[in-house]
Amino acid sequence: PSIRKFFAGGVCRTNVQLPGKVVVITGANTGIGKETARELARRGARVYIACRDVLKGESAASEIRADTKNSQVLVRKLDLSDTKSIRAFAEGFLAEEKQLHVLINNAGVMMCPYSKTADGFETHLGVNHLGHFLLTYLLLERLKVSAPARVVNVSSVVHHVGNIHFHDLQSEKRYSRSFAYCHSKLANVLFTRELAKRLQGTGVTTYAVHPGIVRSELVRHSSLLCLLWRLFSPFVKTAREGAQTSLHCALAEGLEPLSGKYFSDCKRTWVSPRARNNKTAERLWNVSCELLGIQWE
């Protein structure tokens, strides 16, 4: 049990309750997102599960509603690989809700064979970074009017080996399904850094998270990782353990001065030198706006 406790990592210890608060979590039908949604629902928030498969979302939502006795767990369609779907989700949400206190950009894909999103973006970049970038842009006014509010971006420790190849952002010249994931997770950290800078003084703060190495469906495209996860399961976090740092960044009091920073095991943690480069962060921001056809100053 003590070995398990060690590998379970940090625990979110705040007692903050969330009656009247509104939360959106992407990819919350399974894995880390579902456990994050469960805990926020337990604390009384109205939780929107934003997912690409509404049936899977409904099954997660009914489980969470039964478990937490919170009926305010709602499912809405959001496919991050299609900007039309992201815009439709945002339009529906803005019509429905006057406030948004926490946005958790959690959904992610890893090690997919080369493919492009509906808008022609390489899938890791498109779903993990650009999809969440657009979603945050579309929901930002609601976050600002609801301040204090937070945006949590679920990144990964593998951002350390990521790089932003501006000359080949869509990996058309060279593609590695492992590195494509790492690059997109570096993009999550750079986005968080730049977003924090631009949100100074608004009451909206943002954090990047490494959840730990977690047993989930993320490894579905790699039979080697599926096997490793099974063999080493005592050393791999459960989804509930993996949700702790997202919960900490969404809930813990007094985190505002650390806006833009990166957390692991519920503590601020060092990022790679590339993730600290303000020029790269700004350039990625500008290129993302161009690719998405938006103006976000």
Ligand X SMILES: NC(=O)C1=CN([C@@H]2O[C@H](COP(=O)(O)OP(=O)(O)OC[C@H]3O[C@@H](n4cnc5c(N)ncnc54)[C@H](OP(=O)(O)O)[C@@H]3O)[C@@H](O)[C@H]2O)C=CC1
Ligand Y SMILES: CC1=C(/C=C/C(C)=C/C=C/C(C)=C/C=O)C(C)(C)CCC1
Residues that bind ligand Y (CB under 6 A): 156, 158, 213, 228, 232, 235-236
Amino acid, single-letter form, for residue 268: R
Q: Looking at the chain, how many residues does it have?
A: 297
Catalytic residue (choose from 48, 137, 181, 207): 181
Give residue number: closest CB to ligand Y: 156
Cα-Cα-Cα-Cα dihedral sign, residues 143, 148, 153, 154: negative
Instruction: Give the SS3 label for residue 32.
Output: helix
Distance of alpha carbon 73 from alpha carbon 86, whole angstroms: 20
70: left (phi over 0), alpha (psi -120 to 50) or beta: beta
Closest contact distance (angstroms) between CB of 179 and ligand X is 14
216 binds ligand X (CB under 6 A): yes
Closest contact distance (angstroms) between CB of 152 and ligand Y is 16
Which of 96-104, 140-148, 206-214, 276-284 is the region at the interface with ligand X (rule: CB under 6 A)?
206-214
Q: Which is nearer to ligand Y, 149 or 158 (CB)?
A: 158
Amino acid, single-letter form, for residue 210: H
33 binds ligand X (CB under 6 A): yes
134 binds ligand X (CB under 6 A): no
> 41 is written with which tokens?
């629902």
Q: Which is nearer to ligand X, 126 or 146 (CB)?
A: 126
Rg of the Cα atoms in the chain? 18
> 231 is written with which tokens?
């063999």
Q: Do the Cβ atoms of 169 and 207 come closer than 8 Å?
A: no
Among 18, 214, 275, 291, binds ligand X (CB under 6 A): 214
State the residue for tokens 């890893």: 110
Closest contact distance (angstroms) between CB of 101 and ligand X is 21
The site map against ligand X for 90-109 (x = CB under 6 A) is ----------------xxxx
Contact positions toward ligand X, by CB under 6 A? Answer: 26-27, 29-33, 51-53, 56, 78-81, 106-110, 127, 154, 156, 210-211, 213-214, 216-218
